[in-house]
Structure 1
Amino acid sequence: MIGKTLSHFKIIEKLGEGGMGVVYRGVDLDLDRPVAIKLLPSEAQQNEESIARFLREAKTASKLQHPAITTIYEFGIQDNLRYLVMEYIEGKTLKEMLKSGPLPILPLLEIAIQVADALSLADEKAIIHRDIKSENIMLTDRGQVKILDFGLAKMVEKSGPVAQDGFQSSMGVVVGTVSHMSPEQALGAELDARTDIYSTGVVLFEMATGTLPFTGNSQSVVLAKVLNQPASGVADYNAAAPPSLQKMIAKCLEKNREQRYQNALSLLVDLRAIKQEMERAQAGNKMVMMQPGKDPRLPPPSAEKLSDLVPPSTPVSSSSILPTPGAARTVPPVSSGTASFLSALAAQEAGGSSQLRPKRSWRLGACFVLKTTRQAIGVAGGLFALACVTLFSLPVLKPEFAKKVPGIQWLHSAVDPVLANVASAVNVDFTYHELNFLLLVVALAAYILQSVVSWPLEGLESWIRKPLLSRQSSRGSGVFSQATDTSGISQATRMSLLREYAASKRMLSDVKKQIAFLAIDVVGSTKMKLGEEKISIEHAFAEYKKFLERIFHECHAYKVAWTPDGVMAAFYSVEDSAAAARKLLVDLDWFNRDIHQLRAKFHVRCGLNVGEVLFPEDKPLEEISDEVIDVAGHMQKYADPDTVWISEEAYNQLVERNGFERLDRQVDNHEVFVWRKPS
């Protein structure tokens, strides 16, 4: 095939081959650009199922115009060869990148946001991928994600979720990759977009830990775990992962799809919120390090001092550490290679994180040694007890079968010396009808002995770990997760992590944060929908949601909660929340003119309030109830169309007050200021 021309595409070299196609690098002779050319294998050129999948890949990918989805240039047949011409991507697959271990948190979030954004577009087009995995995600030299292989993708029918279409591999099993498929996909049940949410959760787990949530020696073993076992916690492999990220991944991996994210857009919103938290925390760290009046040539403050000022992975509420509204944010330069891209983001992430202090490094090492010793004792005692029970049961079998039991000589060599010593020490015959009950006694004794030895070791480990927890809790106002204390122990016990996480949650619950809340509502949304086609309504409101999300991202929203026609957004800064409201009203004319196709225009009203709220990091905005939030909602309720009503408390914190004027009325005993959209 090398040198052959298909249409105006010339094949240059072979790139790879799989069960569903051969991929070549080629060149577009008309536009002189590199392309990738995929051909069906010769044995599949006459196979109807293979042809259907090949055509489905072309049609599906061509419907999705997104930076993170491979662009399709042409599909055709020449000389009885079916070919697919697509964008040529230079880079590495995510699977190749993960061979060197888990990714730093910021690069992980950058990749995940691009994947979720692409899947949100697929949701809008009623397309599910059905084979999201690290092998099907590429990263270009400039850090751009590309999702590959839409050969298994399926359009969702208007009547409901997509049913299993009967397409099977050559082995006769349900399509997809076992380690990444959702339980419902593994069972051949009806599928919808939530199956891609589960698969994305597996990829997120893999990026955060360097391993898969379910592994085994065979596909049947992995499949059994996918269907029956809960996924391991991310903290079991990476204790430094933020609790919000751990919770998000666990939600993606729920067995019951009703408990997962219901669409990719919801996942995208949470990913962006976590990324903003990380960036805000690092901005605070850098401001602490850049103290005025210091010689820049001097070494930076020690990790011990920095850790007392700023936690490594959680935003600080103190105004002396947070950057001021509108402060410039540092952005890593775009590099020319994948490694440079990752290292730049990793360097930004590491800039504000402190290393383990020498004073506690011995404690972490001691905890690791004690834990390993306890596990070794437990395994040895359990195996010895199992060997005793096995030898006790052998007389039940016929002699000719008992001799064929594999490893029986090894069991005798391990147990018989101990059994002989015990028998010589007691003056009782434990044999009855060829059954030696002394074996059961020894097995029970071995189990009790390993428990007795493990208990003091576990107590010693807790005693050594206790100062680490007390040292963190003594800092009082530090709002951060204590899970980072155990970042030096990559295999920390689940119970220890749960205790530490519970302690951090108690700390967070006692700390109030200064938060600004912006409530937004579409005026007359019910009347807007009258006489319009359903598809036009869905498209218009989906675009409106995207429009708002872009504004929230630009204005650094902390968390967002959606209702059918309205939204409540939380901001760390009143300035940011007011900027978001003004930008929404100003840009609404562009949205009404160029984006949606409804006859009626979108008009919105906004309410804004600020105050101190108990707001745990791991809780979504929907679960927070406070008078500060209620006031923002009531401001929005009474506001006129295309205006922002803002409480006096919020107005007093504003730096940019141009355009605001006082109203002669109150809402919930709060004076009101109004900003109207310029005519």
Structure 2
Amino acid sequence: MSTAAIARPPAPLLAPGTAPAPGYEVLAHLARTGWLDLYDAWSEERDCRCVVKVLRPDRRGEARLADRLVREGRWLRRFTHPHLVRAYETLESPEPLVVLETLTGETLSHLVDRLPRRAGAEDVAVLGVQLCSAVHYLHGQGLLHLDLKPSNVVVDGGHAKVLDLSVARAPGTAPAGVGTFGYMAPEQARGGLLSAAADVWGIGVTLYEVATGEVPFDPGETLDTNTNTGAGGGGGGASGSRDAADDWYPQLEGPAPPVTARRRLPRALAAAIDGCLRPDPAARPTVSELSAALDATLRRRRRDTPVPE
């Protein structure tokens, strides 16, 4: 990093009471990523709180980022699924802006850090089924998410919602490093053909962390930090801007440690999670197969649980 980059003052935030667009008033700043600011805001038209997602002031001249933000907003306005965050409105001028629903839960990353005990096996399986449902829907819309991780999932009362389509794209060839360093599938790290199997990896690595409190691979130091908030949903998404020639990706060096090396789990649930993290995309289960396996573990556990008299 250059001396000039280190010395650059932080980009200013919008003050409470500011109108980022007609009909919206900033209440508070929620989060900042490498290229976005998220604000808790009030919608006059809807008479409710919402989340406003805008480019950071120091990144507003970058057309590529503006296009990415507007594209994500249009997708989320069009998509309707119980496990995907909703967008209310997308504006292109005077500055690109996306208005999202306010979510009342917490991100999985916050829950993993905050709770003294790991999630129960049944809760992990339920979460997996819900993530499979959201991903199956996205794939039906012709998109791969490519950035599934605990900070991009908000949970409220056992109901999960997936956030952040900022790096989503159609299946096909992609450059190296699209996603978040410690969470991307090996094929994302090396670049090349990406398929639905990359999102199966993302589900698996998310369940692994929720179950054990640890990621299977050390994420190391990321160039573009992603920060999401359960109060609003929708963080930044990794930029894929890391220099692949300078990166060492541990997921390219060998398989993930079995989840049972970190925590004791029912055999079928552990096998489902481990199956998602196979290095060869062709060896991973499909989203439908994974959902069926997780659902079977739930039925088995509920069948074997004694009913209190």
Whether these two folds match at TM > 0.5 is yes
1:248 aligns with 2:272: yes
Of residues 78, 81, 85, the one that matches 2:95 is 81
For 2:252 and 2:79, how far apart are their aligned partners in 1?
32
1:183 aligns with 2:186: yes
Report the 3-state secondary structure (helix = DSSP H, G, I; strand = E; otherwise coil) of the residue aligned with 1:139.
strand
For 2:204 and 2:300, how far apart are their aligned partners in 1?
20
For 1:122 and 1:218, how far apart are their aligned partners in 2?
29
Contact 1:214 1:225 in 2 (8 A): yes
Report the 3-state secondary structure (helix = DSSP H, G, I; strand = E; otherwise coil) of the residue aligned with 1:73.
strand
Q: State the structure with more CA Rg.
A: 1
Of residues 225, 249, 258, the one that matches 2:250 is 225
Matched residue type, 1:90: T
Following TM superposition, by how much is the alpha carbon of 1:267 offset from its aligned partner in structure 2, in angstroms?
1.6
Following TM superposition, by how much is the alpha carbon of 1:238 offset from its aligned partner in structure 2, in angstroms?
1.4
Query: Which residue is 1:215 aligned to?
Result: 218
Matched residue type, 1:280: R
Report the 3-state secondary structure (helix = DSSP H, G, I; strand = E; otherwise coil) of the residue aligned with 2:96.
strand
Which digits, 9 at most, give the CA deviation of each residue in 1:50-89, with x for residues without a partner?
A: 11211221123233211111101101134x3211101011
Following TM superposition, by how much is the alpha carbon of 1:254 offset from its aligned partner in structure 2, in angstroms?
0.7
For 1:203 and 1:71, how far apart are their aligned partners in 2?
21
Matched residue type, 1:258: A
Following TM superposition, by how much is the alpha carbon of 1:150 offset from its aligned partner in structure 2, in angstroms?
0.6
For 2:193 and 2:75, how far apart are their aligned partners in 1?
19
Contact 1:182 1:199 in 2 (8 A): yes
Following TM superposition, by how much is the alpha carbon of 1:286 offset from its aligned partner in structure 2, in angstroms?
2.6
Tell me which of the two structures has the higher relative contact order, counting C-alpha pairs closer than 8 angstroms and 6 or more residues apart: 2
Q: Give unpaired runs (5+ residues) of structure 1.
A: 167-172, 291-679
Which digits, 9 at most, give the CA deviation of each residue in 1:637-659, with x for residues without a partner?
A: xxxxxxxxxxxxxxxxxxxxxxx
- The structure-2 alpha-carbon separation of the partners of 1:62 and 1:162, relative to structure 1 and needing over 3 Å to count, comes to farther
Following TM superposition, by how much is the alpha carbon of 1:222 offset from its aligned partner in structure 2, in angstroms?
9.1
For 2:57 and 2:37, how far apart are their aligned partners in 1?
10
Which digits, 9 at most, give the CA deviation of each residue in 1:78-131, with x for residues without a partner?
A: 4x3211101011221101111235211111122221111111111111111111
Q: Give unpaired runs (5+ residues) of structure 2.
A: 1-13, 223-243
RMSD: 2.0
Of residues 154, 177, 200, the one that matches 1:197 is 200
Contact 1:40 1:82 in 2 (8 A): yes
Aligned residues: 270
Query: Which residue is 2:4 aligned to?
Result: none
Higher helix share: 1
Contact 1:102 1:206 in 2 (8 A): no
Query: Which residue is 1:60 aligned to?
Result: 75
Segments of 4+ in structure 1 off by > 6 A?
219-222
Matched residue type, 2:260: A
Query: Which residue is 1:106 aligned to?
Result: 122
1:272 aligns with 2:295: yes
Matched residue type, 1:59: R
Contact 1:94 1:135 in 2 (8 A): yes
For 1:117 and 1:137, how far apart are their aligned partners in 2?
13
For 2:87 and 2:210, how far apart are their aligned partners in 1?
28
- The structure-2 alpha-carbon separation of the partners of 1:12 and 1:275, relative to structure 1 and needing over 3 Å to count, comes to same
1:123 aligns with 2:174: no
Of residues 84, 87, 93, the one that matches 1:69 is 84
Query: Which residue is 1:163 aligned to?
Result: 173
- The structure-2 alpha-carbon separation of the partners of 1:105 and 1:187, relative to structure 1 and needing over 3 Å to count, comes to same
Following TM superposition, by how much is the alpha carbon of 1:227 offset from its aligned partner in structure 2, in angstroms?
0.7
Query: Which residue is 2:225 aligned to?
Result: none
Matched residue type, 1:51: A
- The structure-2 alpha-carbon separation of the partners of 1:103 and 1:175, relative to structure 1 and needing over 3 Å to count, comes to same
Following TM superposition, by how much is the alpha carbon of 1:223 offset from its aligned partner in structure 2, in angstroms?
4.4
For 1:186 and 1:177, how far apart are their aligned partners in 2?
9
For 1:132 and 1:207, how far apart are their aligned partners in 2?
13
Following TM superposition, by how much is the alpha carbon of 1:19 offset from its aligned partner in structure 2, in angstroms?
1.1
- The structure-2 alpha-carbon separation of the partners of 1:183 and 1:122, relative to structure 1 and needing over 3 Å to count, comes to same
Alignment of 1:257-268 (within 5 A): 257-262=281-286, 264-268=287-291
Matched residue type, 1:50: L
